[in-house]
């Protein structure tokens, strides 16, 4: 998955049409759970074990964590 794919996944979950990641402000807990569930579908058994993923409640934090775990490419 690349950064664009991640942005689209989150955008679909939080139902926004914004294209700039700075517009992905913090979301509510239901949206966060939905994002994690969608990521877990893409990466079975790899998302839930990640430390800090449950506390990452904005696009930048999730992107940074997933890039560090090599699940999202930095391109």
- Segment-wise mean pLDDT, segments of 10 residues, the chain, 75 residues: 92 67 67 93 95 90 95 88
Contact call for residues 42 and 48 (beta carbons, < 8 A): no
The predicted pLDDT at position 17 comes to 47
pTM of the predicted model as reported, rounded to 2 decimal places: 0.81
Place of tokens 């893409």: 42
Q: Among candidates 56, 58, 73, which has minimal Cα distance to 26?
A: 58
In order of their start, the domains of the chain are: 3-68 (1.10.1200)
Report the C-alpha gap between 45 and 29 in whole angstroms. Answer: 21
């Amino acid at each position: 998955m690349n950064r664009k794919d991640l942005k689209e996944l989150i955008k679909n979950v939080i139902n926004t049409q914004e294209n700039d990641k700075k517009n992905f402000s913090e979301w509510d807990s239901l949206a966060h759970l939905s994002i994690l569930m969608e990521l877990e579908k893409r990466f079975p058994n790899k998302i839930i074990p990640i430390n800090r993923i449950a506390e990452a409640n904005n696009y930048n934090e999730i992107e940074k964590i997933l890039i560090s775990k090599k699940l999202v490419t930095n391109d």
